[in-house]
């Protein structure tokens, strides 16, 4: 499976999943239809599936127009989002499977950002290869999503699920927020030398107009404060050792940053 990243809006990414040996492709979180349609036309392929992580407009805004062009495409989304995702045909819960070409994703229920958020994890074909995680707005490179509908308890549980995946997992989050996220991270974890190194690398990449997505889970575990709520430096920064209280404080600080 190959992955093509399409930048849209001010900072969104749409992901096209395809295989050169097959004419059918899937798309993850199509915020807009036209950029996807151009790519499909350029490659002379057919859209067969839309994988939505949650119902927000900048993730589902292209669904209806894509379905007008490809009415046989299947729209997947979380069961809790039924009625909120345009064109949704399949409702997914934790443990379900979604097959794209010759790869099958495992579905994780990861509420917090929204009450119905899900993530799609494609395990590696070979043990040494990375898995591919499409996590929408739950986990970002260097950060996590705001809590619009969920609770800190839900988000800590959701991030814990994702943190338990293999370290070489590639993180395909839906926004280019990395530089701003790392600026905040430095305010709460300033003694973290790996974080400083990552900030410098990301800053240079953005100055060169390069994407910082995908990330890698190992790097997130080393530098993302929202996967480090149980580390001494973050406990000191938040004044809490309890994971939920530490996360709630950390998220509140980020919301005001």
Active site residue 137: yes
> Is residue 22 over pLDDT 90?
no
Classify burial at 87, counting beta carbons within 10 Å of its beta carbon; exposed 0-12, middle 13-18, buried 19 or more: middle
CATH 3.60.15.10 fits 2-255, yes or no: yes
Active-site pick, 29, 55, 56, 96: 56
Mean pLDDT of the chain: 97
> Is residue 218 over pLDDT 90?
yes
Active-site pick, 29, 81, 96, 113: 113
> Is residue 245 over pLDDT 90?
yes
> Among residues of the chain, what percentage have pLDDT more than 70?
100
Distances (CA, A) of 26 to 3, 133, 137, 226: 10, 15, 19, 30
- pLDDT of 127: 82
Q: Any bridge partners for residue 175, and if so which?
A: 12
pLDDT tens for residues 137-167? 999 999 999 999 999 999 999 999 999 999 9
Active site residue 196: no
> Among residues of the chain, what percentage have pLDDT more than 90?
95
pLDDT tens for residues 182-198? 999 999 999 999 999 99
- pLDDT of 34: 98
d(CA 3, CA 26): 10
Cβ-Cβ contacts under 8 Å for 214 (sequence gap 6 or more): 3, 132, 141, 170, 171, 172, 173
- pLDDT of 25: 96
Q: Per-residue pLDDT averaged across 81-109, rounded?
A: 97
**Structure confidence at residue 246 as a pLDDT band (50, 70, 90):** very high
Coil, helix or strand for 24? strand
- pLDDT of 128: 85
Distances (CA, A) of 123 to 49, 102, 107, 168: 19, 12, 11, 11
> Beta strands 132-136 and 74-78: pairing type?
unpaired
What's this model's pTM, rounded to 2 decimal places?
Answer: 0.96
Active-site pick, 29, 81, 96, 137: 137
Active site residue 59: yes
Distances (CA, A) of 247 to 42, 68, 74, 143, 155: 45, 42, 36, 12, 9
> Is residue 9 over pLDDT 90?
yes
Active site residue 58: yes
Active site residue 175: yes
Active-site pick, 54, 81, 117, 189: 54
Coil, helix or strand for 75? strand
């Amino acid at each position: 499976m190959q992955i093509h990243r399409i930048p849209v809006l001010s900072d969104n990414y749409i992901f096209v999943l395809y295989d050169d040996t097959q004419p059918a492709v899937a798309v993850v979180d199509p915020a807009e239809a036209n950029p996807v349609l151009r790519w499909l036309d350029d490659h002379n392929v057919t859209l067969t599936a839309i994988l939505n992580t949650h119902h927000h407009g900048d993730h589902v805004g292209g669904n209806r127009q894509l379905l007008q062009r490809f009415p046989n495409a299947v729209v997947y989304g979380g069961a809790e989002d039924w009625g909120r995702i345009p064109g949704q045909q399949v409702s997914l819960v934790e443990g379900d499977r979604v097959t794209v070409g010759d790869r099958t994703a495992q579905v994780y229920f990861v509420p917090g950002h929204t009450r119905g958020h899900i993530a799609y994890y494609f395990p590696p074909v070979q043990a040494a290869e990375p898995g591919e995680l499409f996590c929408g707005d739950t986990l970002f490179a260097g950060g996590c999503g705001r809590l619009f509908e969920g609770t800190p308890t839900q988000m800590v549980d959701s991030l814990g699920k994702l943190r338990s995946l293999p370290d070489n997992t590639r993180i395909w989050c839906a926004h280019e927020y990395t530089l701003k996220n790392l600026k905040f991270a430095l305010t709460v974890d300033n003694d973290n030398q790996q974080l400083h190194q990552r900030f410098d690398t990301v800053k240079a990449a953005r100055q060169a107009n390069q994407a910082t997505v995908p990330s890698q889970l190992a790097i997130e575990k080393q530098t993302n404060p929202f996967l480090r709520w149980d580390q001494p430096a973050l406990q000191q920064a938040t004044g809490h050792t309890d994971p939920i209280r530490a996360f709630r404080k950390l998220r509140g600080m980020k919301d005001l940053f």
